[in-house]
Structure 1
């Protein structure tokens, strides 16, 4: 879809050429003398419409308005979240014959409201058609977003447009059936994204992974006939000496549970178990659009987890790339096994931060539902940056604990650790397992098991947390520019040494 940002008030919006004009009315609305103001004021006076969230009113061939259809949409207090909800509902209600829409935001709307509107349009207009014999695609081709000051909102608009492109990729990959979205297909998609964006991509196969001694990753993959893939993406937007941010995405393209097989009901939804991988690939698609001035590495271990005569078993002991040994108590706790080797591989990039993204535990779904992703972090600044990014992108997370005591459940007499720690605090013990492989850098783990997809009648990928990741990376670009512009002094260097010392202590604790 083609998005355009314009400076528009209600008077200007009345002259906008489009099939449908969406006029968002907030609770502070004060009518002027233009045609759209009179339309809204008359509707409010007649009690046919009010500015409360969820309220709408359709008008056909309104006097003085160029668009044949006008949709008044209540957006409550006009906050970004209310804007997103209002626009999403309105766009989702549109039917065939709509190719060009225009949205006139309240005059008080800022850049974050513009971002919310773009995100909502992209989300509501997405339709999966790839494997349908008679597809019915969305017909909307152009969306004009109007606000009081387009120049002031341009950066937010561009960020939203880039993120929307990435979210669409993540949703599409997540929605593909598992016989299509194989590890090989993910590797091909990664190469395609890299080629279009002009950055590097390397896809490693079983032989290369064996040479790297990724024993935990290989153990999970050995039960399937589909060969594993280890994807390495490198976006170079800054100098070669600048430490990159590394994103790691869990790529289990189908999870049967392995020998510890899952119940049959809703097992079809386990095609979404590569939501972390899809979000990393989607984020790189957004990087291709936005071209921020920072370096980013993407790592995706991809394989299937299936039962067979070759599959790994409960009781097996595997050796990870780090050299640490793991007793497998449950083969359905496989995501952490492929991630731990990727986290060890990440050390070679000497990263400024590592964020892994995974549909890791059902326990996180019980804890947080489908509203917020679970956030675990060993670095306070990293945790705060991710939380703020999630709030800005309307893709929120919630900080979870990493107390040392939670790691006690991973003890076993047969290896350095077990791969599960029992039912209590399952999301936390899974994070504690990963922490043992992430001691060499600031690290965060996003458990997106509750947010990466929706089940039931609304079954489908959400594309989360691409929005959060994109906003986080853009904030890191801004922070890097600020650091370079700041005058050097002894005091900042001393202050900067304190987090490094904290990270060193954290690394010892994790080991």
Structure 2
């Protein structure tokens, strides 16, 4: 879908030819002398319209308005959060087959973050997955114009929003693909495609290279599958070479049967979503390729399937991780932490400023936090605070959970340095304590996205979270004084790339 930013007041918006004109009405709306303002004022006065976020009044072929349909939409207090809520409520109108071109116009001066929120909400509401459907209708909405009081002042925020849409939709696409269309090899191909973007490099390792690295825990998980594992390394070089990178580690279990500790059949199809941590890392790099922030970022994705054949690892087996620590595998369905622990050990070679792993790790986190907030665990208070603040700003929420040493007691083993599970009590915390054994002194955070990475039921599908949180965090780090003092040279003069606000004027759904 294409996005455009335009200077529009309500008088100008009335002249915009489109299938749907959405007018955002915030609390305290002050009408002008134009026809649309008069219409809004009358609807508010008569109680046919409320400014509460999401309340709306739909009109057809309004005199003096060029749009075929008009949707007067309550915007609440006008904040980014309320703007997103309002446009989400307009989802059916945005997804209607007859809606190909839409104009979203702010009825008053927009608040900080509201323009980006509007772009993201329109993209989210109109998203359609089509890759493996033979007769699916493609996304009907092809163009969205965002009308603001002064386009020049909103261009940077608009560009950030469009870039974030590109990243989120890349993550959603790969999260939604069935496991036979998103194998470790295909996931590696998706990563390679990102290397076409400026400042991004990709390296893919197979079983032989991973064997030489002695990633025994990762290899143990992959043993039961005919699909060869892939270890994906992405690099975004936006700052000086000496600037320590942020390392993102995404769990890439492209399908999880549970292995020998096999899962129950109901809803096992949703285990294609077990690579959403990996998909979020891919989505972040897709957005970085557009935004070009002054920061260095490394993305690591250990990708494999967890299958139960004759070669599969068994409960009670002991494996040796890349760190040299031995692990008794008490439950083969606790495989995510096994692939992550070797990737975390590998991350240390980059001497990172911070390491953040992202994983659909535990059902216990779903019980604790539901689908509203991702679980956040960290060994560094400043890193935890920065991630939580980024989530609040991006409306991609997380919540910090404890990491008391006492929670690690259940990981003790009589036959190895540790077990890979510690019982049901505090399951998301004990999983995080397991990972903590492999990070050493690195500032580290773990995001358990098992409850937020996808939705089930009638709305089944990937959400693209926590791409928004991570991109916001990286953008804030890039704006720090340290990052600004060591910015890498921009692309060569021959590059066709434009500044972020102009370059990110278009976003396309899918890969």
Structure 1 residue 83 corresponds to structure 2 residue 91: no
Shift of 1:24: 0.9
Structure 2: how far apart are the matches of 1:265 and 1:7?
A: 51
User: Paired residue for 2:74?
Assistant: 74
Determine the structure 2 residue equivalent to 1:458: 459
User: 1:344 and 2:345 equivalent?
Assistant: yes
The SS at the match of 1:370 is: coil
**How many angstroms apart in 1 are the aligned matches of 2:456 and 2:444?**
30
Alignment correspondent of 2:493: none
Q: Detail structure 1 runs of 4+ shifted over 4 Å in the superposition.
A: 480-483
Deviation per residue, 1:108-163 (Å, 9 max, x gap): 42231111101101111110011111011112111111223333322221111111
Q: Say whether 1:195 aligns with 2:196.
A: yes
Determine the C-alpha separation between the residues in 2 that align with 1:111 and 1:410: 46
Q: Which string of whole-angstrom CA distances, capped at 9 and with x for unpartnered residues, describes residues 419-458 of structure 1?
A: 0111111000000000111123110100000000001111
Q: Quick one: distance in 2 between partners of 1:279 and 1:483?
A: 26
Q: Which residue of 1 aligns with 2:492?
A: none
Q: For structure 2, which runs of at least 5 residues remain unmatched after alignment?
A: 487-511
- C-alpha displacement of 1:482: 6.7
Output the CA distance in 2 between the equivalents of 1:482 and 1:188: 31
Q: Return the alpha-carbon distance in structure 1 between the equivalents of residues 86 and 439 of structure 2.
A: 41
Residue 195 of structure 2 aligns to a residue whose secondary structure is helix
* CA distance, structure 2, for counterparts of residue 135 and residue 68 of structure 1: 26
Deviations 1:446-474 (A, max 9, x none): 00000000011111000000111111111
The farther-off stretch of 97-106 and 161-170 is 97-106
Maintained 8 Å contact 2:175/2:276: yes
Matches within 5 A, 1:284-303: 284-303=285-304
- In 1, the alpha carbon distance for the partners of 2:152 and 2:368 equals 42
With 412-421 and 154-163 compared, the bigger mean Cα shift is at 154-163
Aligned position for 2:450: 449
Match of 1:52 in 2: 52
Give the distance between the partners of 1:135 and 1:435, measured in 2 at CA: 45
Does the CA contact (< 8 Å) of 2:84 and 2:118 recur in 1? yes
Query: Matched residue pairs, number?
Result: 485
> Is 1:275 paired with 2:273?
no
Q: 2:244 is matched with which residue?
A: 243
Cα deviation 1:165-205 (Å, max 9, x = unaligned): 01101001011011110000000110011124452111100
Encode CA deviations 1:357-392: one digit per residue, 9 max, x unaligned.
000000000000000000011111111111111111
Tell me, in whole angstroms, the C-alpha distance in 2 between the residues paired with 1:220 and 1:138. 38
Higher relative contact order (Cα pairs below 8 Å, separated by 6+ residues): 2
Query: What is the CA–CA distance in structure 2 between the aligned matches of 1:234 and 1:421, rounded to whole Å?
Result: 35
- Map residues 52-201 of structure 1 onto 2, 5 A cutoff: 52-94=52-94, 95-201=96-202
Contact 2:199 2:238 in 1 (8 A): no
1:11 CA drift (Å): 2.0
Aligned to 1:305: 306
Q: Distance in 2 between matches of 1:339 and 1:33?
A: 61
- Greater shift in the superposed pair: 218-227 or 108-117: 108-117
Structure 2 counterpart of 1:505: none
Displacement of 1:397 in angstroms is 0.3
Pick which of 307-316 and 151-160 moved more.
151-160
RMSD (Å), alpha carbons: 1.3
Describe the SS at the equivalent of 2:145: strand
| 1:9 CA drift (Å) | 2.1
Q: Which residue of 2 aligns with 1:256?
A: 257
2: CA distance, partners of 1:142 / 1:267 = 37
- The CA deviation string for residues 305-349 of structure 1, in whole angstroms up to 9 with x for no partner, is 011110001101110000001111100000000000000000111
SS in 2 for 1:153: helix
How far apart in 1 are the matches of 2:238 and 2:483?
Answer: 16
Between stretches 186-195 and 446-455, larger displacement belongs to: 186-195
How far apart are the structure 2 equivalents of 1:311 and 1:427?
25
Aligned-partner Cα distance in 2 for 1:363–1:474: 31
Indicate the residue corresponding to 1:216 in structure 2. Answer: 217
Q: Which runs of 5+ in 1 are unaligned?
A: 486-511
Moved more, 99-108 or 467-476: 99-108
In the superposition, the TM-score normalised over structure 1's length comes to 0.93
Distance 1:284 1:178 in 2: 22
Aligned to 1:8: 8
Q: Distance in 1 between matches of 2:101 and 2:234?
A: 36
Q: Which moved more, 1:118-127 or 1:196-205?
A: 196-205
